[in-house]
Amino acid sequence: MTRAQIKLTKATHQNRARQAIILMRLDLDGPPHRNPDETEIPCPHLHIYRDSFGDRWATAAPIDRYTNTLDLFSTCEAFLQHCNITGPSKMQKGLFS
């Protein structure tokens, strides 16, 4: 999980395997993404691992799953659920959320 220092609404959530292989990545409030076929996908967008391409392909983030991407806490929880990460969350909202 990363968060920009200057643009507080910009964030990236990643689910990785073997520390280096990105299985799923959600980019919020960043630049658009250009797929290998030259289509441009605006933010928020979702990268899902594909054989031979890794995370180089993106699709628009599903609106039904990520309803309010400005709320970074609920978006992170939705991402964890999308990745099938179960169990009680130990995250707490920060001072400025």
90 vs 53 pLDDT, higher one: 53
Q: What count of Cα atoms within 13 Å lies in the side-chain half-sphere of residue 48?
A: 7
- When pLDDT is cut at 50, 70 and 90, the band that residue 2 belongs to is low
Q: CA-CA distance, 51 to 62, in Å (whole number)?
A: 22
Average pLDDT, the chain: 89
Residues 6+ apart with CB under 8 A from 96: 8
Condensed to tens digits (0 to 9), the pLDDT of residues 21-44 reads 999 999 999 999 999 999 999 999
What is residue 93's predicted lDDT score, i.e. its pLDDT? 77
What is residue 8's predicted lDDT score, i.e. its pLDDT? 78
Look up residue 92 and give its two tokens. 């707490």
